Amino acid sequence: MAEAAEAAGRSPDSITLVAISKAHPAPAARQALTAGHRVFGENRVQEAEEKWPALKDEFADAELHLVGALQRNKVHRAVALCDVIQTVDRPKLARALADEISKSGRRPQCFIQVNTGEEPQKGGIPPEAADAFIAECQDILGPALRGLMCIPPLDQEPSLHFALLGEIAARNGLQELSMGMSGDFETAIRLGATHVRVGTGVFGERPPNTKER
Protein backbone atom coordinates (compact mmCIF):
# COMPACT_ATOMS: atom_id res chain seq x y z
CA MET A 1 0.00 0.00 0.00
CA ALA A 2 2.80 2.43 0.91
CA GLU A 3 4.58 1.73 -2.37
CA ALA A 4 1.40 2.23 -4.37
CA ALA A 5 0.71 5.48 -2.52
CA GLU A 6 4.21 6.78 -3.14
CA ALA A 7 4.06 5.79 -6.82
CA ALA A 8 0.84 7.81 -7.06
CA GLY A 9 2.34 10.79 -5.25
CA ARG A 10 0.00 10.30 -2.31
CA SER A 11 0.71 10.10 1.38
CA PRO A 12 0.41 6.52 2.67
CA ASP A 13 -1.40 8.00 5.69
CA SER A 14 -4.26 9.06 3.43
CA ILE A 15 -5.29 5.44 2.84
CA THR A 16 -6.92 3.16 5.42
CA LEU A 17 -6.55 -0.59 5.27
CA VAL A 18 -9.87 -2.21 6.14
CA ALA A 19 -8.84 -5.77 7.00
CA ILE A 20 -11.75 -7.99 5.93
CA SER A 21 -11.98 -10.71 8.57
CA LYS A 22 -15.15 -12.40 7.28
CA ALA A 23 -15.03 -16.20 7.41
CA HIS A 24 -11.96 -16.11 9.64
CA PRO A 25 -12.41 -16.94 13.31
CA ALA A 26 -12.00 -14.36 16.06
CA PRO A 27 -8.43 -15.41 16.93
CA ALA A 28 -7.27 -14.31 13.46
CA ALA A 29 -8.71 -10.86 14.03
CA ARG A 30 -7.31 -10.79 17.57
CA GLN A 31 -3.84 -11.52 16.22
CA ALA A 32 -4.07 -8.53 13.88
CA LEU A 33 -5.38 -6.38 16.75
CA THR A 34 -2.51 -7.47 18.97
CA ALA A 35 -0.11 -6.52 16.18
CA GLY A 36 -1.62 -3.03 16.26
CA HIS A 37 -4.15 -3.03 13.44
CA ARG A 38 -7.48 -1.40 14.29
CA VAL A 39 -9.76 -1.23 11.23
CA PHE A 40 -11.70 -4.32 10.16
CA GLY A 41 -14.61 -5.29 7.95
CA GLU A 42 -17.29 -7.97 8.01
CA ASN A 43 -19.92 -8.68 5.39
CA ARG A 44 -22.64 -10.23 7.58
CA VAL A 45 -24.23 -8.68 10.66
CA GLN A 46 -24.74 -12.05 12.32
CA GLU A 47 -21.11 -13.08 11.93
CA ALA A 48 -19.98 -9.67 13.16
CA GLU A 49 -22.13 -10.16 16.27
CA GLU A 50 -20.56 -13.54 16.91
CA LYS A 51 -17.02 -12.16 16.86
CA TRP A 52 -16.84 -8.46 17.51
CA PRO A 53 -18.50 -7.57 20.83
CA ALA A 54 -15.79 -9.52 22.70
CA LEU A 55 -12.99 -8.14 20.50
CA LYS A 56 -14.26 -4.60 21.00
CA ASP A 57 -14.29 -5.18 24.75
CA GLU A 58 -10.61 -6.10 24.53
CA PHE A 59 -9.67 -3.39 22.03
CA ALA A 60 -11.88 -0.39 22.66
CA ASP A 61 -10.54 1.59 19.69
CA ALA A 62 -11.19 -1.14 17.12
CA GLU A 63 -13.27 0.13 14.21
CA LEU A 64 -15.69 -2.19 12.43
CA HIS A 65 -16.99 -1.64 8.90
CA LEU A 66 -19.99 -3.45 7.44
CA VAL A 67 -19.15 -4.17 3.79
CA GLY A 68 -21.98 -6.59 2.92
CA ALA A 69 -25.64 -6.10 2.07
CA LEU A 70 -27.76 -4.73 4.91
CA GLN A 71 -31.43 -5.64 5.35
CA ARG A 72 -33.65 -3.10 7.02
CA ASN A 73 -34.62 -5.54 9.78
CA LYS A 74 -30.94 -5.68 10.82
CA VAL A 75 -30.33 -1.93 10.90
CA HIS A 76 -30.73 -1.78 14.67
CA ARG A 77 -28.11 -4.48 15.20
CA ALA A 78 -25.75 -3.07 12.57
CA VAL A 79 -25.82 0.43 14.06
CA ALA A 80 -25.28 -0.97 17.55
CA LEU A 81 -22.07 -2.73 16.52
CA CYS A 82 -20.61 -1.12 13.39
CA ASP A 83 -18.68 2.14 13.15
CA VAL A 84 -18.96 2.45 9.38
CA ILE A 85 -21.72 1.15 7.09
CA GLN A 86 -20.37 0.95 3.55
CA THR A 87 -23.41 -0.45 1.77
CA VAL A 88 -26.17 2.16 1.82
CA ASP A 89 -27.91 1.64 -1.51
CA ARG A 90 -31.61 2.55 -1.31
CA PRO A 91 -33.73 5.32 0.20
CA LYS A 92 -35.62 3.09 2.63
CA LEU A 93 -32.34 1.83 4.06
CA ALA A 94 -30.94 5.36 4.34
CA ARG A 95 -34.07 6.46 6.22
CA ALA A 96 -33.97 3.43 8.51
CA LEU A 97 -30.32 4.21 9.29
CA ALA A 98 -31.08 7.86 10.00
CA ASP A 99 -33.94 6.85 12.34
CA GLU A 100 -31.76 4.35 14.16
CA ILE A 101 -28.90 6.87 14.45
CA SER A 102 -31.15 9.42 16.09
CA LYS A 103 -32.77 6.83 18.38
CA SER A 104 -29.55 5.12 19.44
CA GLY A 105 -27.27 8.12 19.71
CA ARG A 106 -24.64 6.10 17.85
CA ARG A 107 -23.00 7.79 14.89
CA PRO A 108 -21.76 5.31 12.30
CA GLN A 109 -20.31 6.87 9.18
CA CYS A 110 -22.06 5.88 5.96
CA PHE A 111 -20.84 5.12 2.46
CA ILE A 112 -23.10 4.65 -0.55
CA GLN A 113 -22.48 1.51 -2.58
CA VAL A 114 -22.54 2.13 -6.33
CA ASN A 115 -23.11 -0.87 -8.60
CA THR A 116 -20.65 0.43 -11.20
CA GLY A 117 -20.92 -2.75 -13.28
CA GLU A 118 -24.74 -2.75 -13.10
CA GLU A 119 -24.71 -6.41 -12.11
CA PRO A 120 -28.19 -7.64 -11.11
CA GLN A 121 -26.86 -9.94 -8.36
CA LYS A 122 -24.91 -7.15 -6.67
CA GLY A 123 -26.09 -4.47 -4.30
CA GLY A 124 -25.57 -0.80 -4.97
CA ILE A 125 -27.28 2.06 -6.71
CA PRO A 126 -26.82 2.10 -10.53
CA PRO A 127 -24.40 4.82 -11.70
CA GLU A 128 -27.11 6.77 -13.56
CA ALA A 129 -29.16 7.01 -10.35
CA ALA A 130 -26.21 7.86 -8.12
CA ASP A 131 -26.31 11.68 -8.22
CA ALA A 132 -29.98 11.83 -7.20
CA PHE A 133 -29.52 9.18 -4.52
CA ILE A 134 -26.46 10.93 -3.10
CA ALA A 135 -28.41 14.19 -2.86
CA GLU A 136 -31.23 12.34 -1.11
CA CYS A 137 -28.80 10.72 1.34
CA GLN A 138 -27.11 14.06 2.01
CA ASP A 139 -30.56 15.22 3.12
CA ILE A 140 -31.44 12.10 5.08
CA LEU A 141 -28.08 11.32 6.67
CA GLY A 142 -26.37 14.70 6.72
CA PRO A 143 -22.70 14.69 7.72
CA ALA A 144 -22.80 10.94 8.46
CA LEU A 145 -22.53 10.44 4.69
CA ARG A 146 -18.82 10.26 3.88
CA GLY A 147 -18.20 8.61 0.57
CA LEU A 148 -18.77 5.90 -1.98
CA MET A 149 -17.93 2.22 -2.27
CA CYS A 150 -17.85 -0.19 -5.22
CA ILE A 151 -17.09 -3.81 -6.02
CA PRO A 152 -16.15 -4.08 -9.73
CA PRO A 153 -17.28 -7.09 -11.79
CA LEU A 154 -14.77 -9.94 -11.51
CA ASP A 155 -14.18 -10.16 -15.25
CA GLN A 156 -13.63 -6.50 -16.02
CA GLU A 157 -10.75 -4.06 -15.80
CA PRO A 158 -11.22 -2.56 -12.32
CA SER A 159 -9.61 0.78 -13.17
CA LEU A 160 -12.63 1.81 -15.25
CA HIS A 161 -14.87 1.21 -12.25
CA PHE A 162 -12.56 2.95 -9.80
CA ALA A 163 -12.30 5.98 -12.10
CA LEU A 164 -16.09 6.11 -12.47
CA LEU A 165 -16.56 5.95 -8.69
CA GLY A 166 -14.02 8.75 -8.25
CA GLU A 167 -15.83 10.94 -10.79
CA ILE A 168 -19.20 10.43 -9.10
CA ALA A 169 -17.70 11.27 -5.70
CA ALA A 170 -15.88 14.37 -6.98
CA ARG A 171 -18.90 15.89 -8.68
CA ASN A 172 -20.97 15.33 -5.52
CA GLY A 173 -18.44 16.69 -3.07
CA LEU A 174 -17.78 13.37 -1.30
CA GLN A 175 -14.28 12.79 0.06
CA GLU A 176 -13.97 9.09 0.80
CA LEU A 177 -13.62 6.24 -1.70
CA SER A 178 -13.77 2.61 -0.57
CA MET A 179 -12.42 0.57 -3.46
CA GLY A 180 -9.79 -2.07 -4.12
CA MET A 181 -9.43 -5.57 -2.70
CA SER A 182 -6.54 -8.07 -2.53
CA GLY A 183 -6.14 -8.30 -6.31
CA ASP A 184 -6.45 -4.66 -7.25
CA PHE A 185 -5.74 -2.39 -4.27
CA GLU A 186 -2.69 -0.82 -5.95
CA THR A 187 -4.84 0.24 -8.90
CA ALA A 188 -7.47 1.59 -6.51
CA ILE A 189 -4.84 3.61 -4.65
CA ARG A 190 -3.58 5.05 -7.93
CA LEU A 191 -7.16 6.15 -8.67
CA GLY A 192 -7.77 7.78 -5.31
CA ALA A 193 -8.97 5.10 -2.87
CA THR A 194 -9.07 6.32 0.73
CA HIS A 195 -10.10 2.86 1.99
CA VAL A 196 -8.99 -0.47 0.55
CA ARG A 197 -10.80 -3.62 1.69
CA VAL A 198 -8.33 -6.48 1.82
CA GLY A 199 -9.22 -9.93 3.15
CA THR A 200 -7.09 -12.62 1.54
CA GLY A 201 -4.02 -10.40 1.40
CA VAL A 202 -4.14 -9.95 5.18
CA PHE A 203 -5.53 -13.23 6.53
CA GLY A 204 -4.81 -15.71 3.72
CA GLU A 205 -7.39 -17.75 1.84
CA ARG A 206 -10.79 -17.94 3.48
CA PRO A 207 -11.80 -21.37 4.77
CA PRO A 208 -14.16 -23.14 2.30
CA ASN A 209 -17.92 -23.63 2.86
CA THR A 210 -18.51 -20.25 4.33
CA LYS A 211 -21.79 -18.52 3.70
CA GLU A 212 -20.36 -15.46 1.98
CA ARG A 213 -21.88 -14.91 -1.47
Contact residues toward ligand PLP (CB under 6 A) are 20, 22, 43, 67-68, 151, 181-182, 197-201
Complex with ligand PLP: residue 4 or 151, whichever CB lies closer: 151
Query: Closest approach of Cβ 206 to ligand PLP, in Å?
Result: 7
Query: Closest approach of Cβ 102 to ligand PLP, in Å?
Result: 27
Complex with ligand PLP: residue 23 or 130, whichever CB lies closer: 23
**C-beta nearest to ligand PLP: residue:** 199
Complex with ligand PLP: residue 22 or 190, whichever CB lies closer: 22
Complex with ligand PLP: residue 31 or 104, whichever CB lies closer: 31
Query: Closest approach of Cβ 146 to ligand PLP, in Å?
Result: 16
Complex with ligand PLP: residue 138 or 206, whichever CB lies closer: 206
Of 16, 123, 29, the residue nearest 68 (C-alpha): 123
Query: Closest approach of Cβ 1 to ligand PLP, in Å?
Result: 13
Query: Closest approach of Cβ 44 to ligand PLP, in Å?
Result: 9
